[in-house]
Amino acid sequence: MRFFCILLLLLSCNMAAPAAPGNGDDTAAETALRRGKGPQWLNRLIASSPILRQHHVGVCIADATTGEPLYELNSEQYFTPASTMKLFSLYAGLHLLGDSLPSLSYVVRADSLVFWGTGDPTLLHGDVPSSRAFTFLQSRPEKLFYAPIPCVEAFGPGWSWDDYNYYYSPERGPFPIYGHTVRFYASSTQRLRVSPPAFTALVEPAPPGYASTDHVRRVLLENRFYVLPFSKSWIDETPFRTSPGLLLQLLQDTLRRPVQPLPWHPRPQDSIRTLHGLPVDSLYRRMLQVSDNFLAEQLLLLCASRLGPDSLSTARTIRVVRQRFLPDLPDALRWVDGSGLSRLNLATPRSLTALLGKLHQEVLEPRLLSLLAAGGGHGTLRRGYHDARGPWFWGKTGTLTNTHNLCGYLRTRKGRLLAVSFLNNNHVVETSAVRKEMERILAQVRDRM
């Protein structure tokens, strides 16, 4: 009898003991501890997090200068990268554009100037405005003819259709003007102001009973804008529907001179010239720091214009960049757009960290860090990642519904610069909670590595 009591006691103790790694009964925390390659304190920090335990987490940390791997968790697995894909767009621009943006291309034929788009988004843009193309076209003595060239569809593959009304999802195009958005300036004491003014006649009060939490709602397939009742001041942006006809109207209204359409038929004797505009860093900085999707999409079209004047193709740019400049990524990259709006994009944490390493090798560090959002300073990292000494993280965030990622450079207490990719997919907790937890963990990396 005593033997059986001892046997039952031993069996119960064995059943209560933690499962050995690899026996199929691991908890999520134990699985993370087993998969993580690097410091065990960092494994435990991530595995014990109540915020991170129910979604897909991938981390890859390396020395930014030497490329030495320091920590990996699910680094070989694929994630939806969201706006961290803009780092690949940056890399494309660095290799295919020069020091300034090509604003437009043109040929002179007798008394006519025929021009077409390069994808430059800065013409009268509200945040990165350039007047170079405007001044050029306004002052030329020749008659003006606009030649539309083949370009990508207005929306990218895998984009959410119901984002059409929001500032972060303007339509793409070969010759953007006003950033393809209408700006509305509301005041409690003055009438609503609309820019560009050409859209004023297309704005009307929302019909009775019209329900929306937005200030402005555009009709899905039309340039008709409903403004909801308001009593406070605000500024809002809404994308407009693009078309060659509307472009010509806006150009003529702005330039105050005729612009005629002309089919694109290049001639062997044509001497194609390019008008250059803003320095490239002005576009890169805005694109990365505030995560401007429109600028990122147009950047790949700008790159396409440098590959040949016959069409503006995002896919062509991506194909060339992957083959010429990124053949050595650790894992094959699924890359379909410039902004990361598409959920068809797929990347692994170690490929993103490898890209950070390439950027650090090829771009002077002060310039590179100045292009990125900085902790406590500007852009999407302004509310965190800094202390009394200043920022300690510079990078690019990537956020979609149930997705929040961070890629960039972390400066440790010892002065070492690390390349970090920290990806979170399929989370159901609030994004703000994921953001704070990532900062808490990376602060430990700053202090202990």
Q: Answer yes or no: are the C-beta atoms of 376 and 439 closer than 8 Å.
A: no
Name which of 299, 370, 313 is nearest 85 in CA terms: 299
- pLDDT (0 to 100) of residue 23: 44
Name which of 195, 289, 270, 306 is nearest 240 in CA terms: 195
In angstroms, the CA 115 to CA 108 distance is 9
Q: Answer yes or no: are the C-beta atoms of 392 and 385 closer than 8 Å.
A: yes
Structure tokens at 111: 């008394």
Tell me the one-letter amino acid at 231. S
Which pTM does this prediction carry?
0.91
CA 148 vs CA 108, 118, 141, 256: distances in Å? 16, 10, 21, 20
In angstroms, the CA 236 to CA 186 distance is 8
Strand 112-117 to 143-146 pairing: parallel
Three-state DSSP class for residue 161:
helix
Residues of the chain with CATH 3.40.710.10: 30-88+315-448
Count Cβ neighbours within 10 Å for each residue of 339-350 and write b for 16 or more, e otherwise: bbbbbebbbbbb
CATH topology of domain 30-88+315-448: Beta-lactamase (3.40.710)
Q: Answer yes or no: are the C-beta atoms of 396 and 373 closer than 8 Å.
A: yes
User: pLDDT tens track of the chain, all 449 residues?
Assistant: 444 444 344 434 343 334 434 444 455 555 555 567 889 999 999 999 999 999 999 999 999 999 999 999 999 999 999 999 999 999 999 999 999 999 999 999 999 999 999 999 999 999 998 999 999 999 999 999 999 999 999 999 999 999 999 999 999 999 999 999 999 999 988 899 999 999 999 999 999 888 888 999 999 999 999 999 888 999 999 999 999 999 999 999 999 999 999 998 888 888 999 999 999 999 999 999 999 999 999 999 999 999 987 789 999 999 999 999 999 999 999 999 999 999 999 999 999 999 999 999 999 999 999 999 999 988 899 999 999 889 999 999 999 999 999 999 999 999 999 999 999 999 999 999 999 999 999 999 999 99
Structure tokens at 39: 């410091």
Q: Answer yes or no: are the C-beta atoms of 392 and 386 closer than 8 Å.
A: yes
